Amino acid sequence: MKITEDIKYVGVNDRKVDLFEGQYVVPNGMAYNSYVILDEKIAVFDTVAEGFEEEWLNNIKSVLGDKTPDYLIIQHMEPDHSANIEAFLKVYPNTAVVGNIKTFALMEQFNQLSFVNNKLTVSDKEQLSLGKHNLTFIFAPMVHWPEVMVTYDSYDKVLFSADGFGKFGALDADEDWDCEARRYYIGIVGKYGAQVQRLLQAASTLDIKIICPLHGPVLTENLSHYIEKYNIWSSYNVESEGVMIAYTSVYGHTKKAAELLKDKLEKLGCKKVVFADLARDDMAECVEDAFRYGKLVLATTTYNNDIFPFMKEFIEHLLERNYQNRTIAFIENGSWAPNAMKTMQGMFEKSKNITYLKHNITIKSALKDDTIKEIEALAQELCK
């Protein structure tokens, strides 16, 4: 695939994978992206996942012919991008492998460094000339690994963005970028918002016309849209006005309360109501929605003097990704010693800028007239 006159795509689509990183459902597979810049000197950007080395090397061969690459630039050492350093160097043994100090430390841990005959260690903001293409390496530690760097090509004004601006799905998947990029970002990078903000600040000083990520499509139009989304996600701001109701239920009574609240909200004309059964719905999508919308209602039962396991897992996912700047309400159910609300609120104790609504609800076993009225009051408060 031609990106510019000199930059070619040589990555692969993985239609076999069902769980990315062992936990994220990817019904439309994944893309492992790799790129080549053809100039006086030739650079290859990153490798691909294990099992795709033959296809990837054939793609490179189809672009290079009998030419030999001068550089293999490793921006990220996660195995879906670095698994084939050895395979590459068996074909092109004299190619210089470009990385930073942390890159090569991880390369040694993955038993890849012993195959590197020619190593080029670069520093932050260091430049490498290929001819007319001048590359600048910009370190992006903890976006989302410590060795990560991105690369800017000043000639074609291309940002090779590592895992930044990536998404789930193979390149031939017909799906919305925002949805799958959001789920990818929140799930995988979401903890590191401050680091992403620093990278966005550095990128704002560059004249970028094309973004080449390591997953998902090459971005060539309306770049302000993608940058705006990343700015919202990494600053933990509300992306869309709406209410998410996330519930767990043992015998159906808590579910009925959650359904009643949903019905009341919709009748009041709330812009958007998202409803999630944490025991059955995809957890990554539930986490994505909790970060997307500004208001969250957590409805669960007291369970073993704690909270129901799926709710606990859900909240832990939010906390480890620095959930903040949101409004939360609680619905608890407990037949003899309701304790869920206290437990849930305690879990958010260290979260920043959480607003708690007044009309939190305690159900003892099943809905009664008084709790129905309380749900009506909660709906009114949520719709303000």
CATH number at residue 300: 3.40.50.360
Q: How far apart are CA 260 and CA 378, in angstroms?
A: 11
Domain termination site, one of 234, 261, 293 = 234
Same domain assignment for residues 265 and 371: yes
- Which pLDDT does position 303 carry in this prediction? 86
Q: Is 2 a domain residue?
A: no
Which residues of the chain fall short of a pLDDT of 70?
A: none
Q: How far apart are CA 329 and CA 36, in angstroms?
A: 51
CB 233 within 8 A of CB 265: no
Q: Are strands 293-303 and 30-32 parallel, antiparallel or unpaired?
A: unpaired
Same domain assignment for residues 151 and 229: yes
Same domain assignment for residues 70 and 104: yes
Q: Is 1 a domain residue?
A: no
Torsion of CA 292, 296, 300, 302, to 10 degrees: 120
CB 96 within 8 A of CB 120: yes
Give the DSSP letter of residue 217.
Answer: P
Same domain assignment for residues 113 and 158: yes
In sequence order, the 6+-apart residues with CB closer than 8 A to the CB of 69 are 36, 42, 43, 44, 60, 92, 95
Range(s) of the domain holding residue 80 = 7-234
Domain termination site, one of 199, 219, 234 = 234
Same domain assignment for residues 52 and 197: yes
Same domain assignment for residues 222 and 144: yes
- Which pLDDT does position 219 carry in this prediction? 97
Same domain assignment for residues 201 and 107: yes
| Residue pLDDT, tens place only, 65-110 | 999 999 999 999 999 999 999 999 999 999 999 999 999 999 999 9
CATH number at residue 69: 3.60.15.10
pTM over 0.85: yes
Same domain assignment for residues 300 and 199: no
Rg (CA), the chain: 24
- Which pLDDT does position 306 carry in this prediction? 87
Same domain assignment for residues 225 and 245: no
C-beta contacts of 358-362 below 8 A and 24+ residues apart: 359/329, 360/329, 360/330, 360/331, 360/332, 361/257, 361/330, 361/331, 361/332, 362/332, 362/333, 362/334, 362/338
Q: Is 193 a domain residue?
A: yes
Same domain assignment for residues 218 and 265: no
Same domain assignment for residues 165 and 265: no
Q: How far apart are CA 291 and CA 283, in angstroms?
A: 13
Residue 369, both tokens: 């007239």
Same domain assignment for residues 316 and 220: no
Domain termination site, one of 174, 208, 234 = 234
| Residue pLDDT, tens place only, 50-74 | 999 999 999 999 999 999 999 999 9
In sequence order, the 6+-apart residues with CB closer than 8 A to the CB of 372 are 260
Q: Is 60 a domain residue?
A: yes
